[in-house]
Amino acid sequence: MIKLPKHLQTLKPYKSGKPISELVREQGLSRIVKLASNENPLGPSPRAVEALSSAATDLHRYVDPRATELVGKVAERLDRQPDEIIFGHGTDALLGYIVNAFTVEGDEVLTSEGTFIGIRVNTNKLGRKIRTVPMKDYGYDLEALADALSPDTRIVYIANPNNPTGSMVTRSELETFLKRVPDSVLVLLDEAYAAYAADFDGYPDGLSYRQDNIIVTRTLSKVYGLAGLRVGFAVGPARLIQELYKVKLPFEPNSFAQAAAVAALDDDAFLQRTLETNRRSLAMFAKALDRLGIPYVKTYANFMMLLLPSEETAADFYEACLTRGLIVRPVASFGVPNGVRINSGTEEETEFAIRVIEQVHAEMLNPEGHHVRE
């Protein structure tokens, strides 16, 4: 019998949100709205879709492993050098490469409870240690994180805004924290939702900190609607980025992903429509949740996290929404047992979701006005 490594025995395969096709088969519903995966409700960038047909004629060719055209476009837009940028199949893949490149067995990755599950999975599957500090008001407690730095710490991971809570680390908080981090510790800033957070005063653009121990990751999955193609990139000191090329799979992102990303980055009109749709939807959700008395975390991303009384109530809420055609995401696996995440939608999707939440909320209250399961 093949012996499995101890660290692999504790891992579980990734479990995504329920696919629409599966829900149709199970429930026989004619109307389904999926607001579970922080996807762009407008679909992909139209320019990206157009680019895919042209890219199809070159499918017999291997892709450019350094994504030269795509890297060049991003370098120009961000005022960076091409050798400071690397692309991969989504931010999740890049997190794995970063942990692989800059840690060895026995090293530690430090982060917060209740943050993006990808950093925990990528750390554990490489047999590295991950250590967390408690959240503060459903966000990062950077003071506690700095206090927790140890001689074994090699990477500190900060998702800003944080997924799944939607909370934000401010510029002043981050700069105070950075002063306490030794040069030998890599600060990994995951800014998957930076385009949404840029609306808010005090949001720190990680790319403005050109330190030798900072790497910033971003994605085109959200604002440009390319989640199905998996396109993410990392920006940092050239010396560190070149090390990532040693561990990255050579032919990624694939040719479709690269072509679509190049075109999408020029689609400023789509980007602005996406941001405006997000603002309207989240405002509608906030108004409805306030009226219903359902608590939630103030968000700086394209989703919000509802706070239910318990993990059991959150699971019940999820299932009740599901039977009515609304797919949301319970986030116990992220480290927030009582949380349910819902992302922004079109106006029609948002109205549908609010109607479902109203029905579920009423159903889950007993005559005394308390949740049945607390």
- Report DSSP state, residue 259: H
Is 70 exceeded by the pLDDT of residue 23? no
Domain check: are 17 and 61 in the same one?
no
Separation CA 227–CA 103 (nearest Å): 28
Tens digit of pLDDT for each residue in 26-58?
767 778 999 999 999 999 999 999 999 889 899
Final residue in a domain of this structure, among 239, 264, 289 = 264
Q: Are residues 159 and 229 in the same domain?
A: yes
Note whether residue 194 is domain-resident: yes
186 against 371, higher pLDDT: 186
List, as one string, the DSSP characters of 102-157.
H--TT-EEEEESSS-HHHHHHHHTTT-EEEEE--BTTB--HHHHHHT--TTEEEEE
Same domain, 144 and 258: yes
349 confidence band (pLDDT: 50, 70, 90): very high
CA distances from 200 to 125, 177, 190, 208 (A): 36, 20, 17, 16
Tokens describing residue 132: 């967390």
Percent of the chain with pLDDT over 90: 86
d(C-alpha 251, C-alpha 93), whole Å: 13
In a domain, 195, yes or no: yes
| 49, 92, 235, 295 from 114: Cα distances, Å | 35, 17, 25, 17
Summarize the confidence of residues 286-313 as an average pLDDT.
97
Position 368 in a domain:
no
| 244 lies in the same domain as 311 | no
If asked whether residues 233 and 299 sit together in one domain, one would say: no
Q: Is residue 254 part of a domain?
A: yes
Reading across the β-sheet that carries 108-112, which strands appear in turn? Answer: 85-88, 232-235, 214-219, 186-190, 153-159, 108-112, 129-133
| Type of residue found at 135 | M
End position of a domain, from candidates 245, 264, 283: 264
- Domain-located, residue 372: no
Give the model's confidence band at 3: pLDDT under 50 very low, under 70 low, under 90 confident, else very high: confident
Count of all residues that appear for the chain in the document: 374
373 pLDDT above the threshold of 80: no
CATH code of the domain containing 245? 3.40.640.10
Does residue 96 sit in the same domain as residue 231?
yes
247 in the same domain as 193: yes
* Confidence category of residue 366, pLDDT binned at 50, 70, 90: very low
pLDDT tens string 66-94: 999 999 999 999 999 999 999 999 999 99
User: Measuring CA to CA, which residue among 204, 164, 191, 209 is closest to residue 304?
Assistant: 164
Average pLDDT of the chain, as a whole number: 93
- Condensed to tens digits (0 to 9), the pLDDT of residues 219-254 reads 999 999 999 999 999 999 999 999 999 999 999 999
Residue 323 pLDDT class (50, 70, 90 cuts): very high
The answer on pLDDT for 262 being more than 90 is: yes
Residues 35 and 88 placed together within one structural domain of the fold: no
* Distance of alpha carbon 33 from alpha carbon 349, whole angstroms: 6
pTM of the model: 0.93
Q: How does pLDDT run across 112-153, given as a tens digit for each residue? A: 999 999 999 999 999 999 999 999 999 999 999 999 999 999
Give Cα 12 distance to the centre of its chain. 19
Q: How far apart (Å, rounded) are the C-alpha atoms in residues 319 and 323?
A: 6
- Residues 232 and 295 grouped into a single domain: no
For 177-218, write each residue's pLDDT tens digit.
999 999 999 999 999 999 999 999 999 999 999 999 999 999
Q: Provide the 3-class DSSP secondary structure of residue 185.
A: coil
CA-based nearest residue to 212, from 173, 179, 233, 185: 185
Q: Are residues 222 and 77 in the same domain?
A: yes
Residue 371 located in a structural domain: no
Q: What does the block give as tokens for 197?
A: 């957070």
CA 83 to the chain's CA centroid: 25
Whether 284 and 358 map to the same domain: the answer is: yes
- Tell me if 288 is assigned to some domain: yes
Output DSSP code: residue 202. Answer: T
For 9-35, give one letter per residue: b (16+ CB within 10 A) or e. eeeeeeeebbeeeebeeeeeeeebbbb
> Do the domain assignments include residue 369?
no
Q: Tell me what the mean pLDDT of segment 59-67 comes to.
A: 92
The pLDDT of residue 198 is 95
> At 218, which helix (H) or strand (E)?
strand 214-219
285 and 252 both lie in a single domain = no
Paired residues of 233 in beta bridges: 87, 218
Could you give the number of structural domains in the chain? 2
Range of the domain at 331: 6-43+268-363
The residue out of 237, 264, 291 marking a domain boundary is 264
- Residue 348: CATH number of its domain: 3.90.1150.10
Count other C-beta atoms under 10 Å from residue 255's C-beta: 19
